[in-house]
Structure 1
Amino acid sequence: MDKITLTGVTAVGHHGVFDFERRDGQPFVVDAVLHLDFSRAAVSDDVLDTAHYGEVAERIRGWITGEPVNLIEALAVRIAEDVLRSFAVAAVDITVHKPKAPIEVDFGDVSVTVHRVRA
C-alpha cells in the first residue's frame, strides 16, 4: 500500500476538559498518513485519482477549529472517520498533538494516534 504523509497541520482549537481550555483555546497539531494505491494516479497523472492532501489538510483544520471535544482521543477518531468517508483511502493514521496540554511537569509533547481501516 502506498502512503501520503501530511504532518504539522496546526490551528487553535478549544478542546479539553478544563473550562480555561475551552475558553482560551490552544494550538493543536495533526499528522495524517493516508494509505491508498497510487496505480491509477500514476497512470492518469490526475489529482482526482488520489487523495487530495490539500483538501485533507483543510478538513483537519476544520475539525481542530470546530466543535470542542473533551479528549484528543475523540478528536483523532472523528478526523480519521471523516477522512475515510470523504476520500478514497484504504486506511488512515491520525496523530493529534497537544503541545500546550495543562500538565504540571515539563514535557515536550503529548499525542494520541488512531489507525482506522475502511470496512
Structure 2
Amino acid sequence: MGTLDEIVLTGLTVFGRHGVYDHERENGQEFTIDLRLRMPLRDAAASDDVVDTVHYGELAERVAAVVAGEPVNLIETLAERIAEVALDDRRVQEVSVTVHKPHAPIALAFSDVAVTVHRSQQHSIAEESR
C-alpha cells in the first residue's frame, strides 16, 4: 500500500444538542472536532488537483452537519458517526476523530472532556459484512 500521509483538521467548532441530560438537548452547546485522516497523498501531490485528495472544506461541512444534526446521548456515538463520514471516501485508510465537549455538565473546574476513536477501512469493511 505504501506510506500513509496525513490530512489534519483541528478545532472545527459546531453548535450541537448532544448529551444525556434534557438541558443539554434544550440549550445545546459547542463541540470541537479534531480529525486526522491517513491516506496516500502522492497522487494529489503529483497532479496538484483537488480531485485526487480529500477536499477538507467539503469534509468539514459534512462533519459539521453531523454535529449540528440528530442529537445523541454520548460523544462516543458522535465520534463514531463522524469517523463513518470520513471513511465514506475509500481513499482514507484510517481516521482518528476527537470530540471535545468543553462545556460538559461537570460540577468541578475542568478545561475539557474529549473522546477519541480510531477507525480504519478494514474495521469499516468488517462492520459491513456482519
Measured against aligned partners, the alpha-carbon deviations of 1:64-97 in whole angstroms (never above 9, x if no partner) come to 1000000000000011012101452111000000
Per the alignment, residue 83 of structure 1 pairs with 86
Q: What SS class does the counterpart of residue 17 from structure 1 fall into?
A: coil
Per the alignment, residue 44 of structure 1 pairs with 47
Which of 3, 8, 22 is equivalent to 1:5? 8
Q: What SS class does the counterpart of residue 79 from structure 1 fall into?
A: helix
> Are the counterparts in 2 of residues 51 and 87 from structure 1 also a CA contact under 8 Å?
no
> Are the counterparts in 2 of residues 99 and 108 from structure 1 also a CA contact under 8 Å?
yes
Counterpart-to-counterpart distance in 2, 1:92 and 1:52: 15
Which of 69, 88, 110 is equivalent to 2:72? 69
Which 4+ residue blocks in structure 1 deviate beyond 4 angstroms? none
For residues 4-43 of structure 1, the aligned pairs below 5 Å read 4-43=7-46
Using structure 2 for the length normalisation, give the TM-score: 0.89
Q: Percent identity?
A: 55
Amino acid at match of 1:4: I
Query: Where do 5+ consecutive residues of structure 2 fail to align?
Result: 123-130
Query: Where do 5+ consecutive residues of structure 1 fail to align?
Result: none
Provide the alpha-carbon RMSD of the alignment: 0.8
Using structure 1 for the length normalisation, give the TM-score: 0.97
